[in-house]
Structure 1
Amino acid sequence: PPATTPTPTAEKPFIPGFEAALAVTGLIALAYLLRRRHG
């Protein structure tokens, strides 16, 4: 069979709040590192 369309390999359904929490945590960590580096 011709493999023309790649099939998604085990896509796990994301938890609705997990992505938002991850983004917020990343932003806070980034701001914290930037503030520490400047003084």
Structure 2
Amino acid sequence: GDHEPGDPREAGVDHQEKTLGAAERDEEARGAWRRRFGGV
């Protein structure tokens, strides 16, 4: 198992890290949205 650029495991980890970063920013946005709109 050489690690090639297209290795699905490598891509999966990379995608997961990017998704986590987006989710963390999303949490901040959702928090602001909740304060603005009363936490529906």
What's the TM-score, normalizing by structure 1? 0.53
Q: Which runs of 4+ in 1 moved over 6 A?
A: none
Structure number with larger C-alpha Rg: 1
Match of 1:19 in 2: 13
Give unmatched runs, 5+ long, in structure 1. Answer: 1-13
Higher helix proportion, which one? Answer: 2
1:33 aligns with 2:27: yes
Percentage of pairs with the same residue: 12
User: Which runs of 5 or more residues in structure 2 are unaligned?
Assistant: 1-7, 34-40
Q: Count the aligned residue pairs.
A: 26
Q: What is the CA RMSD across the aligned residues, in angstroms? A: 1.7
SS in 1 for 2:14: helix
Query: How far is 1:16 from its partner?
Result: 1.1
TM-score, normalization by structure 2: 0.52
Greater relative contact order (CA < 8 Å, ≥ 6 in sequence):
2
